[in-house]
Amino acid sequence: MSILHLRALEEALSRRGWRVVAVHPGDGYQIAASWELERDARHGRLLIDFDGMAASGDVCLPLEQSYGCAVRGQPESSLYFRRPKRSHELWERELAEFVRSLDDTNSP
């Protein structure tokens, strides 16, 4: 399910001028992986950490099974990967709000 979310997130980021310049491995516990984002020379880079802690707490999920993400150091800028078929409009709205929030977290 998360592959669809990852694609939608990357497309939404691209529409606002962001691009993924690197994918970093997670910590093997809470973070499945991290995307390093860049917009242009005026803006610094951002890291988005993808949630990976399994419900059992004894394994870290791979990026493709992540259930959400947040801007590193700014947990209030986060996105939960809802089931898009059940709540498509809510997911689209939250995705747009999350991507817009990156402009505020990384203004020159």
pTM equals 0.89
pLDDT in tens, 5-52: 999 999 999 999 999 999 999 999 999 999 999 988 777 899 999 999
pLDDT in tens, 69-88: 999 999 889 999 877 666 77
Structural domains in the chain, sorted by start: 2-105 (3.30.310)
HSE-CB at 37 with a 13 A cutoff on CA atoms is 24
Which position has the token pair 């498509």? 88
